[in-house]
Amino acid sequence: MGALRIITILIVSLLAAGSVVTAHNITAILSQFPEYSEFNNYLSQTKLDDEINSRETITVLVLNNGAVSSLAAKHPLSVVKGVLSLHILLDYYDNKKLHAISDGTTLSTTLYQTTGNSPGNVGFVNITDLKGGKVGFGSGVPGSKLDSSYTKSVKQIPYNISVLEIDAPIIAPGILTAPAPSADVNITGLLEKAGCKTFVKLITDTGVLKVFQTAAAKGLTVFAPSDEAFKAAGVPDLSKLSNAELVALLQYHALATYTPKGSLKTAKDPISTLATNGAGKYDLTVETAGDSVTLDSGVGTSRVASTVLDSTPLCIFTVDNVLLPTELFGKSPSPSPSLSPETSPSSSPAPAALSPEPAAAPSPFLSPPAPPTSSPTAGPAPSDGPTADSQNSNASNAVDGVKAPSLIQALVTASVSVIISSVMS
């Protein structure tokens, strides 16, 4: 009993130490600084705050209210989102690391690179440690000028999130001339090009397309199954559905809000669809594993495969499987606690039927890779460089807790195994 008690205490201690890692809330961080209220506001409007909060390692290059207001006054929200995406680096930089860059210059991947709308080096930012203690920022496109400079450090939660102030927006070639979305965007053309012709025919024949087009002006997210998804084994014969049921099925594949991938990754509660007509009806549950997002209808799951369009207020994704709501097709079978063979339903008690073989784990969502994350390299900042007046914080300053990475869990499991072996031997 004494050995068992020791093992139990050690297991609890290890799990407590490794079960929670820090998370961040960019909205809460910036709310402490009135001079960045406009930047914070546009992060929320464009849902970039969700994308920032969903990533474990990030650097936000923040602009003051004057710089953001000048940008927003001349360009639509979709363009503002593109520019701000270029100010979100998928790596951790603080004052020390900025002044310790190898060879004095580097290209850093930004959130804009992950949108699929950034050819060449448009989605990269050039960071250069200049003479005199200054650090310049500019587009990663060759020949671009370093039009922005680092002014000060604002906030760090090492090595989770860093907020740094720069004095001017980083503008990549062509980013300000990107066409703004409109209510008459060619949804069917985009879907056909993405390999969703069957879905296009269904929404056109049933009139659901008009519902999508009307909703797109205020906010719409579409999950379009690929043509292969409709041919997959287990997909019900849709010709047996009534017109009302088919309409409900198709509307189940859309949300009446602009919900980009970052927002999906932070969704904790079931989300309502266009088919939702009451509490808990025609809802979807979101499951996240790394950068992969899976939608669960209660009957089955479907991976968000690719982004067709992400331009405020319209977002279109392709999904691997047809989403089958429980309201139309019933709930998925429950896993059996025993290994009894599948049996037909009867009124007398019988062993539960075996559930179907689980689907293969979803493959990671393909997006341009970010540079490998590394801990800041120590190095003194030049005496005349920007002051590091950041409000640094440690793990206890994090806003929320999230599950430990699989690496930590693996280490905990290995440690427990060693402990048990040692005690029992």
Q: Is the Cα dihedral 324, 327, 332, 333 positive or negative? A: negative
Stretch 299-316: mean pLDDT: 91
* pLDDT score of 253: 97
Q: Is the pLDDT of residue 349 over 80?
A: no
Q: Is the pLDDT of residue 425 over 60?
A: no
Q: What is the pLDDT of residues 60-113, one digit of tens each?
A: 999 999 999 999 999 988 899 999 999 999 999 999 999 999 889 999 999 998
Q: What is the pLDDT of residues 106-150, one digit of tens each?
A: 999 999 988 766 677 899 999 999 878 899 999 999 999 999 999
Mean pLDDT check: name the lowest of 54-63, 130-139, 317-326.
Answer: 130-139
Sorted by where each starts, the structural domains of the chain and their CATH numbers stand as 26-177 (2.30.180.10), 187-319 (2.30.180.10)
CA distance 229 to 323: 10
Query: Which residue pairs, CB below 8 angstroms and at least 24 apart, start in 109-114?
Result: 109/368, 109/369, 109/370, 109/371, 110/85, 110/86, 111/48, 111/51, 111/52, 111/85, 111/86, 112/82, 112/85, 112/86, 112/88, 112/172, 112/175, 113/368, 113/370, 114/90, 114/367, 114/368
Q: What is the pLDDT of residues 222-255, one digit of tens each?
A: 999 999 999 998 899 999 999 999 999 999 999 9
Note whether 172 and 86 are within 8 A (CB). yes
Is residue 423 very low, low, confident or very high in pLDDT (cuts 50, 70, 90)?
A: very low
| Percentage of residues in the chain having pLDDT higher than 90 | 55
Closest CA to 226 of 193, 256, 258, 204: 193
* pLDDT score of 14: 43
Does this model's pTM top 0.85? My answer is no
Stretch 165-191: mean pLDDT: 83
Examine residue 92 and say whether the peptide bond preceding it is cis (omega within 30 degrees of 0).
no
Task: Determine the Cα angle at 43 with ends 37 and 47, to 5°.
Answer: 150
Q: Is the pLDDT of residue 171 over 50?
A: yes
Q: Is the Cα dihedral 225, 227, 231, 236 positive or negative? A: positive
Stretch 335-354: mean pLDDT: 39
CA distance 145 to 358: 53
Backbone angle region of 414, left / alpha / beta, with phi > 0 → left and psi within -120 to 50 → alpha = alpha
